[in-house]
A and B are shown apart, each in its own frame.
Chain A
Amino acid sequence: MKNTIRVHQFHGGIHPPENKKQSTGAPISLAPIPSRIVLPLQQHIGLPADPVVRVGQRVLKGQLVAEAIGRISANIHASISGTVVAIEPHPVPHMSGMKADCLIIESDGKDEWIEHQGLADYTKLPTQALIEYIRQSGIAGMGGAGFPTDVKLHLGDDHIVNTLIINAAECEPYITADDMLMRERADEIMGGIEIIAHLLKPLHIMVGIEDNKPQAIRALHAAMDNSALNLDIVITPTKYPSGGEKQLIKLLTGVEVPSGSIPADVGIVCQNVGTTSAIYRAVTHGEPLISRIITVTGQAAAHKQNYEVRLGTPLADLLNHSAVERQQLQRLIIGGPMMGITVTDEQIPVIKTTNCLIAGSIKEMPPQPPAQACIRCGMCEQVCPAELLPQQLYWFAKGKEFDKARHHNLFDCIECGACSYVCPSNIPLVQYYRFAKAEIRKEDDEQRKADHARQRFEARLARLERDKIEKEERRKQRAIDAAAAQAAKKDAALNQAPTASVSAAPEAGTPDLKQLKSNAAIARTKLKKAEKALNNAQDKGLDGIDTLKETLKQLQLKSAQAEKAYSDAQNAPAKAAAPVLDLKQLKSNAAIARTKLKKAEKQLANATASGEGDISALTAQVSLLQDKNIAAEKAYKAAESGPSNAAAAPIDTTELEADIAALQAKVDKATSAWQAAVASASPAADKMAAGVEKLTTKLKGLQDELSQARAALPASSATVDTTELEADIAALQGKVDKANSAWQAAVASASPAADKMAAGVEKLTTKLKGLQDELSQARAALPASSTTVDTTELEADIAALQGKVDKANGAWQAAVASASPAADKMAAGVEKLTTKLKGLQDELTQAKSRSEAAMPAAAPATAAPDLKALKQQVSIMRTKLKKAEKQLTELPEGADNAALMAEIDSLKARHDAAKALWDAAEADKIAAAAAQGVDLKQLKIDAAMARAAVTKAERALSKAEDDQPALEAELVTIRAQADKLNATLERFSD
């Protein structure tokens, strides 16, 4: 055996005792089929596989049980037939000794294969399909890290692969799995190499093997003779760690893989011999990766040999099978003595990367002696295959100067343990490096996370900013739109104006007039100012009087012009557009004219009386105004008679009503003014009384008119909405109230006008009654269907009235308290109001019973809104009750609080009644809801809130030392509430 290829050298390396002979004595034997297998979902770096079977499902040997997710991930297959009993955390072969998710399968003893078939001719398959086929078989690197093989096979896609290296060095002591595989299954290995070569198409294939495996080398040579492959078997001197990927590459090719890059970057791909055999079996027999060769050795083991073991077999099974003496067992190591991991749990399963199991006795695996100080002997540096400075790295790792360690290429360390092996001070160097690497990785990870968080934070800020801007923009847009709409309106008006003035100008008259009027006013003001200035100047004899005078003249001219334009414009529409003008305009014109006339007359009278001013001018003005007034009135009348003749019957009564309302308001004002006058004993009172009378008469006239108009309306208007009437009533009611209160105030202040006011109040009340009667008639007149009318309105009325009653009550009590003489009367008023309230309430109940009777079917539906109203009512009542109670407490002692008490009692009763009603309704609702499974959410939320309140209260209690009793009481109530809610919740949630 001699090499045709020159073997290169790598730096460092050690020669530990081989201890390989022990396990090569016997051929590979099949380990017994385990009764139970444990398949970790993650057996390598990358993502864990995703289970595709259910617990309880029967699986066959070779069946896919967990699927790869992501690129760096591998399928997992059942290695026995049986039943999936669990998918749960279970101890796995990992340095941490932690548990991880595993699929546990109980054997059925049949060891039944799933149907499987190899590829007849893999060369016919496209490359990608073949790689996918291999990926489906779940093959992962069987040498070290268990990197999914298909990823390496894809390297041909984006790299030029010159050299394929098959790693058969197996440099670590004790391990002989690859050795035995080569001895016994060299054909499979050759087949596998052929497949890989077919996929990667390398120029050169090399098998690197250490010279301590002569039998394996012979077997390989023999197999090579049967193969068409052109490959070199390169025999390397035995030295640890020549099996390291980069070291083997250096040995075989002399190429050094640069730090931080992978071999493929220099055109080289490495595969383990075990992997090649697995690929062969997958491709030609269709067998997924379900078993592997494992060396069981160590002094504690009686049978030291290689077994073909099903993946997932617990270590205990293997140890038992090779008769491991547990007393002797000092350390159980998975992997080799240099790079393996110590495990303590025998239930840990065999996985794809498990190549050796060393049951070491205390003699061969003595406890490590304590570490001592580094003596800087430099031996570690001499053996380091990665050409690092282990001693330096050690100092950096120990001093936590991770940055420096990184700069000294810490990540090129392959953790081979050569440095620890030679260190005379027994320093656990590799442990330090692992720790440092982990710390650096963590830091990087945190940095990455921080960057990510920053990005997200910034993105969020940007989003908030964007939202704000958008909102702002929308707001602006709205403003612009509004402005545009307004502008459009104005434009339209302006556009209309000229056209209208060209033809006849009835509509244009309005805007024009206004404009003109304001022009005139401005001119006048200016004129006045100028005049004043002139006077001033004249008085003081200042210069510049001439200029001022000039200005004044101009202004006068302008003013006159403006005024003329205005009056022209004013006259024009009156003449030209009378027939088309609407009555209102005309009416208001007439009214204005009248007012102006009156003012002018007054001015005239004043002037005459005082004998100053330009009386003649005024007189002229008055006469002009009179004319105008007459004209306006005439126009109005003419217009009025026109339409009223033509369309009296269908005319809308709303206008009339509005008039009436306006008049009414006037009457009210006048009345109040009159009353004020009476109160102050003014001499004008009589005159005002007359005015009031007049107004009232007019009002009556209008009302008559209205009733006529109403009567004239067709019969269908009987169904007219009563809301209007009601509104009237409400307004009137308000007035009555006001009058009442005014009267009471008057009574309280012992004003002489009180009697009269009382009369007024009476009158108003009468009117109110009339209206109410009307309302009830109207209601009665409504068709039967309207009995289902919503009672909410009534309720609102009642509530309002209630409020009034309360207020009156309060006022009365105040009066009582202050011993006011008006108290008795107020009491009567309160009584009256209360009576009314009762009446309304009766009505409500009637209405409700009616509506309920009218729609029994719809009842459940209306229950919901009613519930709300009820709830509101209850809370209102509660508030009222509280207020009343408060009042009671605030009442001075000795005062007559019997009435108040009575009221409180009644309120309480009412509150209770309402509450009972509500509770009943709610109970119904909850029952109904529970039947449908609704509302539980609300309940839940309430319960959660209550619970939170309890915790919060508890917290507050624990914090607050003082004031404890109060807090405790609160807590108790809150808890009770929470309990109740919880109970309710429980009742419904099961």
Chain B
Amino acid sequence: MSAVFVAVLVLLGLGLVFGILLGYSSIRFKVEGNPLVDQVDSLLPQTQCGQCGHPGCRPYAEAIVNADEAINKCPPGGQSTVEALADLLDVEALPLDAESEAEPIKKVAYIREDECIGCTKCIQACPVDAILGAAKQMHTVITSECTGCDLCVEPCPVDCIDMLPLETTLNNWQWPAPKPGIELIATDRQPSIALEVKG
């Protein structure tokens, strides 16, 4: 009898100890905010363009997590973002909801400076403060900060902002993917083909 009693006591004690431990750690190591929203937000390209129908990337992330918004609404992110989101949220990857190509070309804004009248409208539109200028002064885009969101183009009263594709330089040039090899069986190999394919 006393053995049972002891066992019950020990188990109770253990339960108590672990309960306290868990309770303490849940307070001590409390995670601030919604970590899932943060994770989703970190996958979004942060272009802040609003093309998803939300006023920025974070609101879209919140909508995805809290309001069951579709994950395929981010054109700048392209299909790869959709896939990453599908991976994270363990849902099916939908095709990108945009008429444009799946992997959009990266663009940056460029102000034709001698046409700028210095109205500062573009500055107010830019979500990342990538435009430099002052009233009645020429404005210019800090290319390295521009996310290519397109939001500054419309407000310009003299239409002097262009979206230009990012120039390839030695520093951002990339090795292309190897051409998918003509994977033949060795006996099918023909000299003409062999000559065509230069390494």
With the chains together, A437 CA to B186 CA distance in Å?
30
Residues of B within 8 A of A575 (CB): none
CB of B46 within 8 A of CB of A453, answer: yes
CB distance from B119 to the nearest CB of A (A): 9
Residues of A within 8 A of B66 (CB): none
Residues of A within 8 A of B127 (CB): 457, 460
Residues of B within 8 A of A263 (CB): none
Interface assignment of B45: CB less than 8 Å from any CB of chain A: yes
CB distance from B141 to the nearest CB of A (A): 13
Residues of A within 8 A of B185 (CB): 372
CB of A370 within 8 A of CB of B182, answer: yes
Interface assignment of B41: CB less than 8 Å from any CB of chain A: yes
Interface assignment of A438: CB less than 8 Å from any CB of chain B: yes
Residues of A within 8 A of B173 (CB): 94-96, 98
CB distance from A207 to the nearest CB of B (A): 34
CB distance from A57 to the nearest CB of B (A): 25
Interface assignment of B178: CB less than 8 Å from any CB of chain A: yes
Segment with Cβ contacts to B, from A868-876, A941-949, A966-974: A941-949
Residues of B within 8 A of A459 (CB): 129
CB of B46 within 8 A of CB of A450, answer: yes
CB of A438 within 8 A of CB of B47, answer: no
With the chains together, A454 CA to B147 CA distance in Å?
10
CB of B158 within 8 A of CB of A944, answer: yes
CB distance from B108 to the nearest CB of A (A): 11
CB of B157 within 8 A of CB of A446, answer: no
CB of B199 within 8 A of CB of A435, answer: no
Interface assignment of A373: CB less than 8 Å from any CB of chain B: yes
Residues of B within 8 A of A941 (CB): 117
Q: Which of B45, B48, B169 lies in contact with A446, CB distance below 8 A?
A: B45
Interface assignment of A371: CB less than 8 Å from any CB of chain B: yes
Interface assignment of B197: CB less than 8 Å from any CB of chain A: yes
Which secondary structure dominates where chain B touches chain A?
A: loop
Segment with Cβ contacts to B, from A426-434, A815-823, A922-930: A426-434
CB of B183 within 8 A of CB of A456, answer: no
In the complex, what residue of chain B is closest to A938 when comparing beta carbons?
B117
CB of A944 within 8 A of CB of B170, answer: no
Q: Which of B129, B158, B197 lies in contact with A368, CB distance below 8 A?
A: B197
Interface assignment of B12: CB less than 8 Å from any CB of chain A: no
Interface assignment of A92: CB less than 8 Å from any CB of chain B: yes
Interface assignment of A42: CB less than 8 Å from any CB of chain B: yes
CB of B174 within 8 A of CB of A367, answer: no
- By CB atoms of chain A within 10 A, which of B42, B58, B175 has the most? B175
Residues of B122-162 whose CB lies within 8 A of A: 127-130, 145, 147, 157-160
CB distance from A359 to the nearest CB of B (A): 16
Residues of A within 8 A of B129 (CB): 456, 459-460
Residues of B within 8 A of A457 (CB): 46, 48, 56-57, 127-128
CB of A373 within 8 A of CB of B183, answer: yes
CB distance from A557 to the nearest CB of B (A): 68
Residues of B within 8 A of A460 (CB): 127-129
Interface assignment of A439: CB less than 8 Å from any CB of chain B: yes
Segment with Cβ contacts to A, from B22-30, B91-99, B187-195: B187-195
Residues of B within 8 A of A944 (CB): 115, 117, 158, 160
CB of A451 within 8 A of CB of B46, answer: yes
With the chains together, A187 CA to B89 CA distance in Å?
65
CB distance from B80 to the nearest CB of A (A): 8
Residues of A within 8 A of B186 (CB): 372
Residues of A442-472 whose CB lies within 8 A of B: 442, 446-447, 449-454, 456-457, 459-460
With contacts A373-B183, A460-B128 taken as known, whether A368 is within 8 angstroms of B198 at the C-beta atoms is yes
- By CB atoms of chain B within 10 A, which of A94, A369, A439, A459 has the most? A369
With contacts A454-B57, A944-B160 taken as known, whether A100 is within 8 angstroms of B194 at the C-beta atoms is no
CB of B157 within 8 A of CB of A367, answer: no
CB of B117 within 8 A of CB of A454, answer: no
Q: Which of B42, B130, B158, B181 lies in contact with A371, CB distance below 8 A?
A: B181
Chain B 79-122, CB within 8 Å of chain A: the 1/0 string? 00000000000000000000000000000000000010100000
CB distance from A639 to the nearest CB of B (A): 60
Interface assignment of A951: CB less than 8 Å from any CB of chain B: yes
With the chains together, A372 CA to B180 CA distance in Å?
10
Residues of B within 8 A of A371 (CB): 178, 181-183
With contacts A438-B174, A456-B128 taken as known, whether A450 is within 8 angstroms of B159 at the C-beta atoms is no
CB of B199 within 8 A of CB of A367, answer: yes
With the chains together, A100 CA to B157 CA distance in Å?
36
CB of B145 within 8 A of CB of A456, answer: yes
With contacts A457-B127, A951-B159 taken as known, whether A42 is within 8 angstroms of B170 at the C-beta atoms is yes
CB of B181 within 8 A of CB of A372, answer: yes
Interface assignment of B35: CB less than 8 Å from any CB of chain A: no
Tally of contact residues, A, Cβ under 8 A: 46
Interface assignment of B33: CB less than 8 Å from any CB of chain A: no
CB of B130 within 8 A of CB of A456, answer: yes
In the complex, what residue of chain B is closest to A460 when comparing beta carbons?
B129
In the complex, what residue of chain B is closest to A424 when comparing beta carbons?
B186
Residues of B within 8 A of A98 (CB): 168-170, 173
CB of B159 within 8 A of CB of A948, answer: yes
With the chains together, A459 CA to B126 CA distance in Å?
13
With contacts A367-B195, A456-B130 taken as known, whether A96 is within 8 angstroms of B170 at the C-beta atoms is yes
CB of A370 within 8 A of CB of B189, answer: yes
Residues of A within 8 A of B48 (CB): 453, 457
With the chains together, A368 CA to B184 CA distance in Å?
14
CB distance from B182 to the nearest CB of A (A): 4
In the complex, what residue of chain B is closest to A365 when comparing beta carbons?
B199
In the complex, what residue of chain B is closest to A40 when comparing beta carbons?
B170
CB of B115 within 8 A of CB of A427, answer: no
Interface assignment of B177: CB less than 8 Å from any CB of chain A: yes
With the chains together, A95 CA to B170 CA distance in Å?
9
Residues of A within 8 A of B41 (CB): 454
CB distance from B177 to the nearest CB of A (A): 5
CB distance from B165 to the nearest CB of A (A): 15
Interface assignment of B52: CB less than 8 Å from any CB of chain A: no
With the chains together, A370 CA to B190 CA distance in Å?
10
CB of B198 within 8 A of CB of A945, answer: no
Chain A 938-962, CB within 8 Å of chain B: the 1/0 string? 0011001101100110000000000
Residues of B within 8 A of A431 (CB): 175, 178
With the chains together, A439 CA to B175 CA distance in Å?
8
Residues of B within 8 A of A439 (CB): 174
Chain A 74-107, CB within 8 Å of chain B: the 1/0 string? 0000000000000000001011101010000000
In the complex, what residue of chain B is closest to A458 when comparing beta carbons?
B58
Residues of B within 8 A of A42 (CB): 170
With the chains together, A838 CA to B16 CA distance in Å?
104
CB distance from B38 to the nearest CB of A (A): 11
Chain A 332-354, CB within 8 Å of chain B: the 1/0 string? 00000000001000000000000
Interface assignment of B44: CB less than 8 Å from any CB of chain A: yes
CB of B169 within 8 A of CB of A945, answer: no
Write 30 A-B pairs (CB below 8 A) sorted by A numbering.
Answer: A95-B173, A98-B170, A367-B198, A368-B197, A370-B182, A371-B181, A372-B184, A372-B186, A431-B178, A432-B177, A435-B177, A441-B174, A446-B45, A447-B42, A449-B46, A450-B45, A450-B46, A452-B145, A453-B47, A453-B145, A453-B147, A456-B145, A457-B127, A457-B128, A460-B128, A940-B117, A944-B117, A948-B158, A948-B159, A951-B159
By Cβ-Cβ distance, the 9 closest A-B pairs, closest first, are A371-B181, A368-B199, A450-B46, A438-B174, A453-B46, A434-B175, A456-B128, A431-B178, A96-B173
